[in-house]
Amino acid sequence: MTYLLPFDPATLPTESFDFLIIGSGVAGLSCAIELAPHGRVAVLTKEDISEGSTQWAQGGIAAALAPEPLDSAKLHEQDTMQAGAGLCDRSAVQVLVTEGPQRVRELIARGAHFDTEPTGELKLTREAAHRARRIVHAHGDSTGREVQRSLSANALESAGITVFEDMLTVDLLISGQDSNRRCCGALALDTETGELRLFRGAATIIATGGIGALYKVTTNPPVLTGDGMAMAFRAGAVLMDMEFVQFHPTAFAKGPNNPKFLISEAVRGEGAILLNTSGERFMSRYHPDAELAPRDVVSRAIAQEILTTGSDYVVLDLTANTAQQIAARFPKIYSTCVAYGIDPAHEPIPVSPAEHYMMGGIRTDLHGATNVYGLLACGECACTGVHGANRLASNSMLEGLVFGIRTVEGAIAVSKSGCPPELNTRSGDGVRAQPFSEAEITAARTRLQETMWHYVGLVRSGAGLRQALNILNELQERYGQPNPTRPSIELSNMITVAQLVARAALEREESRGAHYRTDFPQTLDGDWQHHVLLSNERNQLKVDKAPCS
Protein backbone atom coordinates (compact mmCIF):
# COMPACT_ATOMS: atom_id res chain seq x y z
CA MET A 1 0.00 0.00 0.00
CA THR A 2 1.38 3.40 -1.05
CA TYR A 3 0.06 6.25 1.10
CA LEU A 4 -0.27 9.85 -0.07
CA LEU A 5 1.33 11.27 3.07
CA PRO A 6 4.03 9.94 5.38
CA PHE A 7 2.84 9.15 8.91
CA ASP A 8 3.83 7.20 11.99
CA PRO A 9 0.87 5.47 13.70
CA ALA A 10 2.65 5.56 17.05
CA THR A 11 2.66 9.38 17.08
CA LEU A 12 -0.88 10.14 15.86
CA PRO A 13 -4.07 10.50 17.90
CA THR A 14 -6.17 7.39 17.31
CA GLU A 15 -9.83 6.56 17.90
CA SER A 16 -11.44 3.16 17.43
CA PHE A 17 -14.99 2.37 16.34
CA ASP A 18 -16.91 -0.67 15.23
CA PHE A 19 -17.94 1.02 12.00
CA LEU A 20 -16.23 3.85 10.16
CA ILE A 21 -18.26 5.65 7.44
CA ILE A 22 -16.59 8.13 5.10
CA GLY A 23 -19.20 10.49 3.66
CA SER A 24 -22.48 12.00 4.88
CA GLY A 25 -24.95 11.85 1.99
CA VAL A 26 -28.04 9.69 1.58
CA ALA A 27 -26.06 6.43 1.34
CA GLY A 28 -23.62 7.07 4.18
CA LEU A 29 -26.18 8.40 6.64
CA SER A 30 -28.75 5.70 5.82
CA CYS A 31 -26.05 3.15 6.58
CA ALA A 32 -24.94 4.92 9.76
CA ILE A 33 -28.45 5.15 11.20
CA GLU A 34 -29.10 1.45 10.60
CA LEU A 35 -25.70 0.45 12.03
CA ALA A 36 -26.01 2.50 15.23
CA PRO A 37 -27.83 -0.23 17.21
CA HIS A 38 -25.05 -2.69 16.34
CA GLY A 39 -21.99 -0.79 17.57
CA ARG A 40 -20.16 2.52 17.74
CA VAL A 41 -20.32 4.41 14.44
CA ALA A 42 -18.06 7.24 13.25
CA VAL A 43 -19.02 9.41 10.26
CA LEU A 44 -16.17 11.41 8.70
CA THR A 45 -17.16 14.26 6.38
CA LYS A 46 -14.82 16.85 4.91
CA GLU A 47 -17.17 19.81 5.42
CA ASP A 48 -20.31 19.94 7.54
CA ILE A 49 -22.71 17.03 7.53
CA SER A 50 -25.01 18.48 4.85
CA GLU A 51 -22.47 19.66 2.26
CA GLY A 52 -22.65 16.78 -0.22
CA SER A 53 -24.51 16.23 -3.45
CA THR A 54 -27.67 14.79 -1.84
CA GLN A 55 -29.04 18.19 -0.87
CA TRP A 56 -28.63 19.41 -4.46
CA ALA A 57 -30.94 16.75 -5.91
CA GLN A 58 -34.11 18.31 -7.27
CA GLY A 59 -36.28 15.82 -9.13
CA GLY A 60 -36.98 13.17 -6.53
CA ILE A 61 -36.78 9.47 -5.78
CA ALA A 62 -38.03 6.86 -8.23
CA ALA A 63 -40.00 3.99 -6.69
CA ALA A 64 -42.99 1.91 -7.80
CA LEU A 65 -45.35 3.23 -5.13
CA ALA A 66 -48.46 3.50 -7.33
CA PRO A 67 -50.73 0.44 -7.38
CA GLU A 68 -50.89 -1.86 -10.38
CA PRO A 69 -51.69 -1.45 -13.21
CA LEU A 70 -50.41 2.14 -12.90
CA ASP A 71 -46.94 0.92 -11.94
CA SER A 72 -45.00 -2.08 -10.66
CA ALA A 73 -41.49 -3.14 -9.68
CA LYS A 74 -41.34 -5.11 -12.94
CA LEU A 75 -42.09 -2.03 -15.02
CA HIS A 76 -39.49 -0.02 -13.06
CA GLU A 77 -37.00 -2.82 -13.72
CA GLN A 78 -37.70 -2.72 -17.45
CA ASP A 79 -37.25 1.05 -17.60
CA THR A 80 -33.98 0.85 -15.66
CA MET A 81 -32.62 -1.95 -17.86
CA GLN A 82 -33.55 -0.09 -21.03
CA ALA A 83 -31.89 3.14 -19.89
CA GLY A 84 -28.75 1.18 -18.94
CA ALA A 85 -28.12 0.31 -22.61
CA GLY A 86 -27.47 -3.40 -22.14
CA LEU A 87 -24.96 -3.09 -19.31
CA CYS A 88 -27.11 -3.26 -16.17
CA ASP A 89 -26.66 -6.26 -13.89
CA ARG A 90 -30.22 -7.54 -13.56
CA SER A 91 -29.75 -8.87 -10.03
CA ALA A 92 -28.77 -5.40 -8.80
CA VAL A 93 -31.68 -3.79 -10.64
CA GLN A 94 -34.14 -6.26 -9.14
CA VAL A 95 -32.85 -5.45 -5.65
CA LEU A 96 -33.22 -1.72 -6.35
CA VAL A 97 -36.80 -1.81 -7.65
CA THR A 98 -38.21 -4.40 -5.25
CA GLU A 99 -36.72 -2.97 -2.05
CA GLY A 100 -37.05 0.68 -3.10
CA PRO A 101 -40.68 1.31 -2.09
CA GLN A 102 -40.09 0.06 1.46
CA ARG A 103 -36.95 2.21 1.80
CA VAL A 104 -38.97 5.30 0.81
CA ARG A 105 -41.65 4.43 3.38
CA GLU A 106 -38.95 4.05 6.05
CA LEU A 107 -37.55 7.45 5.11
CA ILE A 108 -41.01 8.96 5.58
CA ALA A 109 -41.28 7.21 8.96
CA ARG A 110 -37.99 8.89 9.94
CA GLY A 111 -39.50 12.31 9.33
CA ALA A 112 -38.96 13.12 5.65
CA HIS A 113 -41.88 15.11 4.26
CA PHE A 114 -42.78 14.53 0.60
CA ASP A 115 -45.40 16.37 -1.41
CA THR A 116 -48.89 14.88 -1.19
CA GLU A 117 -52.22 15.11 -2.93
CA PRO A 118 -55.21 16.67 -1.10
CA THR A 119 -56.24 13.08 -0.29
CA GLY A 120 -52.98 12.57 1.59
CA GLU A 121 -51.49 10.19 -0.97
CA LEU A 122 -47.97 10.82 -2.25
CA LYS A 123 -47.86 13.11 -5.26
CA LEU A 124 -46.04 11.29 -8.06
CA THR A 125 -44.55 12.79 -11.21
CA ARG A 126 -42.91 11.38 -14.33
CA GLU A 127 -39.41 11.92 -15.69
CA ALA A 128 -37.60 11.03 -18.88
CA ALA A 129 -37.42 7.32 -19.83
CA HIS A 130 -39.98 6.37 -17.15
CA ARG A 131 -43.24 4.90 -18.42
CA ALA A 132 -45.13 5.66 -15.22
CA ARG A 133 -45.51 8.46 -12.72
CA ARG A 134 -43.28 7.14 -9.93
CA ILE A 135 -41.15 10.08 -8.74
CA VAL A 136 -41.78 11.22 -5.18
CA HIS A 137 -40.61 14.76 -4.47
CA ALA A 138 -40.43 17.32 -1.67
CA HIS A 139 -41.20 21.05 -1.70
CA GLY A 140 -41.64 20.82 -5.47
CA ASP A 141 -38.00 20.63 -6.50
CA SER A 142 -36.03 20.42 -3.25
CA THR A 143 -36.20 16.69 -2.61
CA GLY A 144 -32.51 16.27 -1.85
CA ARG A 145 -32.55 19.02 0.72
CA GLU A 146 -35.47 17.38 2.55
CA VAL A 147 -33.84 13.94 2.46
CA GLN A 148 -30.56 15.37 3.76
CA ARG A 149 -32.37 17.31 6.51
CA SER A 150 -34.17 14.22 7.72
CA LEU A 151 -31.16 11.91 7.68
CA SER A 152 -28.82 14.49 9.22
CA ALA A 153 -31.26 15.11 12.07
CA ASN A 154 -31.58 11.38 12.74
CA ALA A 155 -27.82 10.86 12.67
CA LEU A 156 -27.04 13.80 14.96
CA GLU A 157 -29.68 12.67 17.44
CA SER A 158 -28.36 9.09 17.59
CA ALA A 159 -26.29 8.29 20.65
CA GLY A 160 -24.46 5.60 18.71
CA ILE A 161 -23.14 7.92 15.97
CA THR A 162 -20.24 10.37 16.28
CA VAL A 163 -19.94 12.83 13.40
CA PHE A 164 -16.52 14.34 12.64
CA GLU A 165 -16.92 17.42 10.42
CA ASP A 166 -14.09 19.16 8.55
CA MET A 167 -12.31 15.80 8.43
CA LEU A 168 -10.77 15.00 5.04
CA THR A 169 -10.02 11.29 4.74
CA VAL A 170 -6.61 10.94 3.13
CA ASP A 171 -6.14 7.19 2.79
CA LEU A 172 -7.43 3.82 3.90
CA LEU A 173 -5.28 1.91 6.39
CA ILE A 174 -4.33 -1.45 4.90
CA SER A 175 -2.55 -4.39 6.46
CA GLY A 176 -1.30 -7.35 4.46
CA GLN A 177 -0.80 -7.60 0.70
CA ASP A 178 -2.55 -8.91 -2.39
CA SER A 179 -5.33 -11.39 -1.51
CA ASN A 180 -4.58 -10.98 2.22
CA ARG A 181 -5.27 -7.24 2.26
CA ARG A 182 -7.39 -6.06 5.16
CA CYS A 183 -8.77 -2.57 5.67
CA CYS A 184 -8.48 -1.50 9.28
CA GLY A 185 -9.57 2.14 9.19
CA ALA A 186 -8.46 5.44 7.70
CA LEU A 187 -5.96 8.27 7.96
CA ALA A 188 -7.66 11.68 8.05
CA LEU A 189 -6.65 15.33 8.03
CA ASP A 190 -8.44 17.72 10.36
CA THR A 191 -8.74 20.68 7.99
CA GLU A 192 -9.39 23.08 10.86
CA THR A 193 -6.18 22.27 12.76
CA GLY A 194 -4.00 20.66 10.09
CA GLU A 195 -3.56 17.62 12.35
CA LEU A 196 -3.39 14.06 11.00
CA ARG A 197 -5.54 11.53 12.88
CA LEU A 198 -6.13 7.79 12.70
CA PHE A 199 -9.59 6.25 12.83
CA ARG A 200 -9.68 2.50 13.27
CA GLY A 201 -12.74 0.44 12.39
CA ALA A 202 -13.69 -3.22 12.14
CA ALA A 203 -15.56 -2.27 8.97
CA THR A 204 -14.87 0.81 6.84
CA ILE A 205 -17.51 2.09 4.43
CA ILE A 206 -16.81 4.60 1.66
CA ALA A 207 -19.81 6.77 0.74
CA THR A 208 -18.07 9.83 -0.71
CA GLY A 209 -20.25 10.45 -3.77
CA GLY A 210 -19.23 11.34 -7.31
CA ILE A 211 -16.64 13.18 -9.38
CA GLY A 212 -18.28 16.41 -10.55
CA ALA A 213 -15.28 18.59 -9.67
CA LEU A 214 -13.27 16.84 -12.39
CA TYR A 215 -15.25 18.69 -15.06
CA LYS A 216 -15.31 22.32 -16.12
CA VAL A 217 -19.12 22.33 -16.26
CA THR A 218 -21.03 20.36 -13.63
CA THR A 219 -24.22 20.46 -11.60
CA ASN A 220 -22.35 19.00 -8.60
CA PRO A 221 -20.94 20.89 -5.63
CA PRO A 222 -17.15 21.45 -5.67
CA VAL A 223 -16.57 18.99 -2.79
CA LEU A 224 -17.02 16.00 -5.14
CA THR A 225 -13.39 15.38 -6.04
CA GLY A 226 -13.50 11.57 -6.29
CA ASP A 227 -11.68 11.06 -2.97
CA GLY A 228 -13.27 7.72 -2.12
CA MET A 229 -12.58 6.18 -5.52
CA ALA A 230 -8.97 7.35 -5.46
CA MET A 231 -8.40 6.00 -1.94
CA ALA A 232 -9.97 2.66 -2.82
CA PHE A 233 -7.85 2.36 -5.96
CA ARG A 234 -4.65 3.02 -4.01
CA ALA A 235 -5.74 0.38 -1.50
CA GLY A 236 -6.16 -2.29 -4.17
CA ALA A 237 -9.94 -2.23 -4.65
CA VAL A 238 -11.33 -2.92 -8.11
CA LEU A 239 -13.15 -0.08 -9.89
CA MET A 240 -15.77 -0.76 -12.57
CA ASP A 241 -17.52 1.12 -15.42
CA MET A 242 -15.39 4.23 -14.95
CA GLU A 243 -15.99 5.32 -18.57
CA PHE A 244 -19.67 5.97 -17.91
CA VAL A 245 -20.11 9.57 -16.76
CA GLN A 246 -23.59 10.98 -17.11
CA PHE A 247 -24.18 14.48 -18.42
CA HIS A 248 -27.47 16.14 -17.53
CA PRO A 249 -29.06 17.73 -20.61
CA THR A 250 -30.41 20.86 -18.97
CA ALA A 251 -28.22 23.05 -16.78
CA PHE A 252 -28.87 26.79 -16.61
CA ALA A 253 -26.73 28.45 -19.29
CA LYS A 254 -27.21 32.20 -19.17
CA GLY A 255 -23.77 33.81 -19.41
CA PRO A 256 -20.37 32.34 -18.50
CA ASN A 257 -20.33 33.76 -14.97
CA ASN A 258 -23.68 32.44 -13.74
CA PRO A 259 -23.83 29.06 -11.97
CA LYS A 260 -24.69 25.90 -13.93
CA PHE A 261 -27.52 24.94 -11.61
CA LEU A 262 -29.68 21.99 -12.56
CA ILE A 263 -33.02 22.37 -14.32
CA SER A 264 -34.66 19.14 -13.20
CA GLU A 265 -35.69 16.29 -15.49
CA ALA A 266 -39.13 16.69 -13.92
CA VAL A 267 -39.60 20.00 -15.76
CA ARG A 268 -39.70 18.08 -19.05
CA GLY A 269 -41.73 15.38 -17.36
CA GLU A 270 -44.37 18.03 -16.65
CA GLY A 271 -44.49 19.10 -20.30
CA ALA A 272 -41.68 21.61 -20.98
CA ILE A 273 -40.27 21.45 -24.52
CA LEU A 274 -36.80 22.02 -25.95
CA LEU A 275 -36.23 24.51 -28.77
CA ASN A 276 -33.06 25.50 -30.58
CA THR A 277 -32.18 29.16 -30.94
CA SER A 278 -34.00 29.18 -34.31
CA GLY A 279 -37.20 28.41 -32.42
CA GLU A 280 -37.48 24.82 -33.71
CA ARG A 281 -38.56 21.92 -31.54
CA PHE A 282 -35.89 19.35 -32.36
CA MET A 283 -35.99 16.32 -30.05
CA SER A 284 -38.37 14.30 -32.25
CA ARG A 285 -35.57 14.16 -34.85
CA TYR A 286 -33.37 12.28 -32.38
CA HIS A 287 -35.72 9.94 -30.51
CA PRO A 288 -39.40 8.91 -30.67
CA ASP A 289 -39.83 9.89 -27.00
CA ALA A 290 -38.67 13.44 -27.82
CA GLU A 291 -38.01 15.41 -24.59
CA LEU A 292 -38.57 12.25 -22.53
CA ALA A 293 -35.77 10.29 -24.21
CA PRO A 294 -32.91 8.93 -22.04
CA ARG A 295 -30.46 11.51 -20.74
CA ASP A 296 -27.55 10.56 -22.97
CA VAL A 297 -29.73 10.96 -26.07
CA VAL A 298 -31.07 14.34 -24.99
CA SER A 299 -27.63 15.59 -23.98
CA ARG A 300 -26.01 14.70 -27.29
CA ALA A 301 -28.99 16.09 -29.22
CA ILE A 302 -28.61 19.42 -27.44
CA ALA A 303 -24.87 19.40 -28.08
CA GLN A 304 -25.52 18.80 -31.77
CA GLU A 305 -28.10 21.60 -31.96
CA ILE A 306 -25.67 23.97 -30.24
CA LEU A 307 -23.02 23.03 -32.79
CA THR A 308 -25.40 23.38 -35.74
CA THR A 309 -26.85 26.74 -34.71
CA GLY A 310 -23.57 28.22 -33.52
CA SER A 311 -25.11 29.14 -30.17
CA ASP A 312 -23.97 28.36 -26.64
CA TYR A 313 -27.30 26.87 -25.57
CA VAL A 314 -30.80 25.72 -26.49
CA VAL A 315 -33.89 26.79 -24.56
CA LEU A 316 -36.37 24.97 -22.35
CA ASP A 317 -39.85 26.41 -22.84
CA LEU A 318 -42.20 26.47 -19.86
CA THR A 319 -44.22 29.49 -20.98
CA ALA A 320 -47.43 27.46 -21.42
CA ASN A 321 -47.62 27.70 -17.61
CA THR A 322 -48.33 30.71 -15.45
CA ALA A 323 -45.82 32.07 -12.96
CA GLN A 324 -48.02 30.77 -10.16
CA GLN A 325 -48.07 27.26 -11.62
CA ILE A 326 -44.31 27.14 -12.12
CA ALA A 327 -43.55 28.58 -8.70
CA ALA A 328 -45.88 26.07 -7.05
CA ARG A 329 -44.36 23.01 -8.75
CA PHE A 330 -40.72 24.14 -9.07
CA PRO A 331 -40.21 26.86 -6.45
CA LYS A 332 -36.43 26.60 -6.23
CA ILE A 333 -35.90 26.51 -10.00
CA TYR A 334 -38.33 29.39 -10.52
CA SER A 335 -36.82 31.66 -7.86
CA THR A 336 -33.24 30.91 -8.97
CA CYS A 337 -34.02 31.62 -12.63
CA VAL A 338 -35.69 34.91 -11.69
CA ALA A 339 -32.70 35.85 -9.54
CA TYR A 340 -30.47 35.46 -12.61
CA GLY A 341 -32.73 37.46 -14.91
CA ILE A 342 -34.97 34.81 -16.51
CA ASP A 343 -38.71 34.60 -15.75
CA PRO A 344 -39.71 31.11 -16.99
CA ALA A 345 -43.34 32.15 -17.29
CA HIS A 346 -42.48 34.74 -19.95
CA GLU A 347 -39.31 33.52 -21.65
CA PRO A 348 -37.63 30.15 -22.20
CA ILE A 349 -34.72 29.09 -19.98
CA PRO A 350 -31.31 28.84 -21.72
CA VAL A 351 -29.84 25.40 -21.02
CA SER A 352 -26.88 23.22 -22.03
CA PRO A 353 -25.44 19.89 -20.82
CA ALA A 354 -23.29 19.57 -17.69
CA GLU A 355 -21.58 16.68 -15.90
CA HIS A 356 -24.04 15.27 -13.43
CA TYR A 357 -23.51 11.70 -12.20
CA MET A 358 -20.98 8.86 -12.14
CA MET A 359 -22.36 5.43 -13.06
CA GLY A 360 -19.04 3.68 -12.35
CA GLY A 361 -17.06 3.44 -9.16
CA ILE A 362 -15.76 0.99 -6.55
CA ARG A 363 -16.93 -2.48 -7.50
CA THR A 364 -19.10 -4.08 -4.80
CA ASP A 365 -21.42 -7.01 -4.35
CA LEU A 366 -25.07 -6.52 -3.42
CA HIS A 367 -24.16 -5.93 0.25
CA GLY A 368 -21.43 -3.35 -0.33
CA ALA A 369 -18.39 -5.61 -0.02
CA THR A 370 -15.32 -4.92 -2.15
CA ASN A 371 -12.42 -7.26 -2.96
CA VAL A 372 -10.51 -5.78 0.01
CA TYR A 373 -11.68 -7.44 3.22
CA GLY A 374 -13.09 -4.96 5.71
CA LEU A 375 -13.74 -2.32 3.02
CA LEU A 376 -17.25 -1.63 1.77
CA ALA A 377 -18.79 1.09 -0.39
CA CYS A 378 -22.24 2.40 -1.22
CA GLY A 379 -23.94 5.23 -3.12
CA GLU A 380 -22.55 7.08 -6.11
CA CYS A 381 -18.93 6.17 -5.36
CA ALA A 382 -19.80 2.47 -5.58
CA CYS A 383 -20.69 0.34 -8.60
CA THR A 384 -23.01 -2.65 -8.32
CA GLY A 385 -23.87 -2.57 -12.02
CA VAL A 386 -27.33 -1.21 -11.24
CA HIS A 387 -27.07 1.78 -13.61
CA GLY A 388 -25.26 0.12 -16.50
CA ALA A 389 -24.14 2.61 -19.12
CA ASN A 390 -26.73 5.28 -18.34
CA ARG A 391 -28.60 5.91 -15.08
CA LEU A 392 -32.37 6.20 -15.19
CA ALA A 393 -33.53 9.56 -13.80
CA SER A 394 -34.13 9.66 -10.03
CA ASN A 395 -32.66 6.20 -9.42
CA SER A 396 -29.69 7.84 -7.69
CA MET A 397 -31.17 8.64 -4.29
CA LEU A 398 -33.03 5.34 -4.45
CA GLU A 399 -29.68 3.59 -4.92
CA GLY A 400 -28.29 5.43 -1.90
CA LEU A 401 -31.22 4.34 0.26
CA VAL A 402 -31.39 0.73 -0.91
CA PHE A 403 -27.71 -0.12 -1.06
CA GLY A 404 -26.77 2.11 1.87
CA ILE A 405 -29.04 0.00 4.06
CA ARG A 406 -27.98 -3.25 2.36
CA THR A 407 -24.36 -2.43 3.20
CA VAL A 408 -25.30 -2.70 6.88
CA GLU A 409 -25.56 -6.48 6.60
CA GLY A 410 -22.15 -6.69 4.95
CA ALA A 411 -20.56 -4.41 7.57
CA ILE A 412 -21.98 -6.41 10.47
CA ALA A 413 -20.66 -9.62 8.96
CA VAL A 414 -17.16 -8.12 8.72
CA SER A 415 -17.27 -6.77 12.27
CA LYS A 416 -17.94 -10.25 13.65
CA SER A 417 -14.45 -11.31 12.55
CA GLY A 418 -13.04 -9.15 15.30
CA CYS A 419 -10.72 -6.17 15.39
CA PRO A 420 -8.32 -5.81 12.47
CA PRO A 421 -4.59 -6.02 13.13
CA GLU A 422 -2.74 -3.05 14.53
CA LEU A 423 -0.64 -0.89 12.26
CA ASN A 424 2.84 -0.95 13.73
CA THR A 425 4.97 0.40 10.90
CA ARG A 426 5.38 3.96 9.76
CA SER A 427 4.47 4.98 6.23
CA GLY A 428 6.85 6.96 4.04
CA ASP A 429 10.22 8.45 4.76
CA GLY A 430 9.05 11.77 6.11
CA VAL A 431 9.97 13.63 2.92
CA ARG A 432 7.02 15.55 1.55
CA ALA A 433 6.53 17.14 -1.83
CA GLN A 434 7.74 20.71 -2.18
CA PRO A 435 5.03 23.17 -1.19
CA PHE A 436 2.63 24.15 -3.95
CA SER A 437 1.18 27.65 -3.94
CA GLU A 438 -2.58 28.16 -3.91
CA ALA A 439 -2.38 29.74 -7.37
CA GLU A 440 -0.44 26.79 -8.75
CA ILE A 441 -2.94 24.25 -7.43
CA THR A 442 -5.86 26.31 -8.77
CA ALA A 443 -4.24 26.49 -12.21
CA ALA A 444 -3.59 22.74 -12.25
CA ARG A 445 -7.15 22.00 -11.17
CA THR A 446 -8.50 24.24 -13.95
CA ARG A 447 -6.28 22.53 -16.52
CA LEU A 448 -7.55 19.13 -15.41
CA GLN A 449 -11.19 20.25 -15.58
CA GLU A 450 -10.80 21.72 -19.05
CA THR A 451 -8.99 18.59 -20.25
CA MET A 452 -11.78 16.34 -18.99
CA TRP A 453 -14.48 18.58 -20.45
CA HIS A 454 -12.94 18.77 -23.92
CA TYR A 455 -11.55 15.23 -24.31
CA VAL A 456 -13.40 12.97 -21.84
CA GLY A 457 -16.85 14.55 -21.95
CA LEU A 458 -20.02 14.06 -23.96
CA VAL A 459 -18.20 13.17 -27.18
CA ARG A 460 -14.87 11.32 -27.19
CA SER A 461 -12.32 9.92 -29.60
CA GLY A 462 -9.20 7.78 -29.32
CA ALA A 463 -6.96 10.69 -30.25
CA GLY A 464 -8.62 12.98 -27.72
CA LEU A 465 -8.46 10.41 -24.94
CA ARG A 466 -4.76 9.81 -25.56
CA GLN A 467 -4.18 13.56 -25.48
CA ALA A 468 -6.07 13.74 -22.18
CA LEU A 469 -3.95 10.96 -20.70
CA ASN A 470 -0.77 12.74 -21.74
CA ILE A 471 -1.87 15.88 -19.93
CA LEU A 472 -3.05 13.94 -16.87
CA ASN A 473 0.23 12.05 -16.70
CA GLU A 474 2.08 15.38 -16.67
CA LEU A 475 -0.12 16.57 -13.82
CA GLN A 476 0.43 13.31 -11.97
CA GLU A 477 4.19 13.69 -12.27
CA ARG A 478 4.03 17.17 -10.82
CA TYR A 479 1.20 16.98 -8.25
CA GLY A 480 0.69 13.29 -7.51
CA GLN A 481 2.58 13.52 -4.21
CA PRO A 482 0.59 16.15 -2.32
CA ASN A 483 1.30 18.52 0.52
CA PRO A 484 -0.67 17.86 3.74
CA THR A 485 -3.37 20.36 2.76
CA ARG A 486 -6.89 19.82 1.50
CA PRO A 487 -6.44 21.52 -1.92
CA SER A 488 -3.28 19.52 -2.65
CA ILE A 489 -4.77 16.19 -1.54
CA GLU A 490 -7.96 16.79 -3.52
CA LEU A 491 -5.96 17.63 -6.64
CA SER A 492 -4.00 14.39 -6.33
CA ASN A 493 -7.25 12.42 -6.01
CA MET A 494 -8.77 14.24 -8.97
CA ILE A 495 -5.79 13.36 -11.15
CA THR A 496 -5.99 9.68 -10.19
CA VAL A 497 -9.71 9.39 -10.91
CA ALA A 498 -9.45 11.41 -14.13
CA GLN A 499 -6.78 8.99 -15.36
CA LEU A 500 -9.06 6.06 -14.59
CA VAL A 501 -12.03 7.58 -16.42
CA ALA A 502 -9.92 8.39 -19.49
CA ARG A 503 -8.22 4.99 -19.47
CA ALA A 504 -11.53 3.10 -19.28
CA ALA A 505 -12.98 5.29 -22.03
CA LEU A 506 -9.99 4.51 -24.25
CA GLU A 507 -10.40 0.81 -23.54
CA ARG A 508 -14.09 0.69 -24.61
CA GLU A 509 -13.93 0.84 -28.41
CA GLU A 510 -17.65 1.31 -29.03
CA SER A 511 -20.41 3.77 -28.11
CA ARG A 512 -22.88 2.79 -25.41
CA GLY A 513 -25.11 4.90 -23.16
CA ALA A 514 -23.25 7.90 -21.80
CA HIS A 515 -20.00 6.82 -23.50
CA TYR A 516 -19.90 8.05 -27.11
CA ARG A 517 -16.85 7.81 -29.38
CA THR A 518 -16.74 9.38 -32.81
CA ASP A 519 -14.21 6.77 -33.99
CA PHE A 520 -16.40 3.88 -32.76
CA PRO A 521 -19.97 5.21 -33.09
CA GLN A 522 -21.77 1.84 -33.05
CA THR A 523 -22.90 -0.23 -30.06
CA LEU A 524 -21.21 -3.63 -30.33
CA ASP A 525 -22.98 -6.12 -28.08
CA GLY A 526 -21.01 -9.14 -29.20
CA ASP A 527 -17.66 -7.65 -28.29
CA TRP A 528 -18.43 -5.10 -25.59
CA GLN A 529 -21.41 -6.17 -23.50
CA HIS A 530 -19.21 -6.48 -20.45
CA HIS A 531 -17.81 -4.32 -17.66
CA VAL A 532 -14.31 -2.81 -17.75
CA LEU A 533 -12.45 -3.39 -14.47
CA LEU A 534 -9.46 -1.34 -13.31
CA SER A 535 -7.24 -2.12 -10.34
CA ASN A 536 -3.89 -1.19 -8.85
CA GLU A 537 -1.58 -4.17 -8.49
CA ARG A 538 1.76 -3.24 -6.95
CA ASN A 539 1.47 0.29 -8.38
CA GLN A 540 0.68 -0.99 -11.89
CA LEU A 541 -2.69 -0.48 -13.60
CA LYS A 542 -4.43 -3.75 -14.40
CA VAL A 543 -7.32 -3.85 -16.89
CA ASP A 544 -9.82 -6.74 -16.84
CA LYS A 545 -13.30 -7.50 -18.13
CA ALA A 546 -16.33 -8.99 -16.41
CA PRO A 547 -19.59 -10.17 -18.01
CA CYS A 548 -22.92 -8.58 -17.10
CA SER A 549 -24.86 -10.75 -14.69
302-353 tens-digit pLDDT:
999 998 999 999 999 999 999 999 999 999 899 999 999 999 999 999 999 9
- On the question of pLDDT at 423 being above 90, the answer is no
What mean pLDDT do residues 107-134 have? 92
- Residues 87 and 85: their CA atoms lie apart, in Å, by 6
pLDDT at res. 422 = 64
The three-point CA angle 87-92-98 to 5° equals 130
Mean pLDDT of the chain, nearest integer: 93
- On the question of pLDDT at 425 being above 60, the answer is no
| pLDDT tens for each residue of 278-303 | 999 999 999 999 998 888 889 999 99
Conformation bin of residue 158: beta by default, left when phi > 0, alpha when psi is -120 to 50: beta
- On the question of pLDDT at 129 being above 90, the answer is no
Interstrand relation of 161-164 and 245-252 (parallel, antiparallel or unpaired): unpaired
Closest by CA position to 318, among listed 278, 355, 346, 287: 346
| pLDDT tens for each residue of 21-76 | 999 999 999 999 999 999 999 999 999 987 777 777 777 999 999 999 999 999 99
Residue type, 269: G
| pLDDT tens for each residue of 173-230 | 998 877 788 999 999 999 999 999 999 999 999 999 999 999 999 989 899 999 999 9
- On the question of pLDDT at 119 being above 90, the answer is yes
- On the question of pLDDT at 428 being above 70, the answer is no
Grouping H, G, I as helix, E, B as strand and the rest as coil, residue 387 is coil
pLDDT at res. 420 = 64
- Split at pLDDT 50, 70, 90, the class of 419 is low
| pLDDT tens for each residue of 243-259 | 999 999 999 998 777 67
pLDDT at res. 382 = 98
Please compute Rg for the chain using Cα positions. 22
- On the question of pLDDT at 475 being above 80, the answer is yes
Conformation bin of residue 290: beta by default, left when phi > 0, alpha when psi is -120 to 50: left
pLDDT at res. 181 = 87
CA atoms within 13 A on the CB side of 546: 20
pLDDT at res. 176 = 81
Q: What percent of the chain has pLDDT over 70?
A: 97
- Split at pLDDT 50, 70, 90, the class of 94 is very high
- On the question of pLDDT at 427 being above 90, the answer is no
How many residues are recorded in the chain? 549
Is 13-244+359-415 a domain of CATH 3.50.50.60?
yes
pLDDT at res. 76 = 98
Grouping H, G, I as helix, E, B as strand and the rest as coil, residue 198 is strand
What mean pLDDT do residues 368-391 have? 97
Residue pair 153/25 in contact (Cβ under 8 Å)? The answer is no
- Split at pLDDT 50, 70, 90, the class of 443 is very high
Is 251-355 a domain of CATH 3.10.20.310?
no
List the beta strands (DSSP E) in 331-428. Answer: 349-358, 361-363, 375-377, 382-383
Range name among 97-111, 201-215, 244-258, 496-510 with the lowest pLDDT average: 244-258
Residue type, 312: D
Q: What is the pTM of this model?
A: 0.94
Residue pair 141/133 in contact (Cβ under 8 Å)? The answer is no
Q: Is the peptide bond before 69 cis (omega within 30 degrees of 0)?
A: yes
pLDDT at res. 90 = 97
Neighbours of 548 (CB within 10 A): 15
Say yes or no: do domains 251-355 and 438-524 share a fold: no
Where do the domains of the chain lie? 13-244+359-415, 251-355, 438-524
Is 438-524 a domain of CATH 3.40.50.150?
no
Which entry of 197, 295, 363, 508 is annotated as an active-site residue?
295
- On the question of pLDDT at 154 being above 90, the answer is yes
- Residues 301 and 126: their CA atoms lie apart, in Å, by 21
Residue 512 is among the residues annotated as catalytic for this protein: no
Distances (CA, A) of 218 to 56, 96, 106: 12, 26, 31
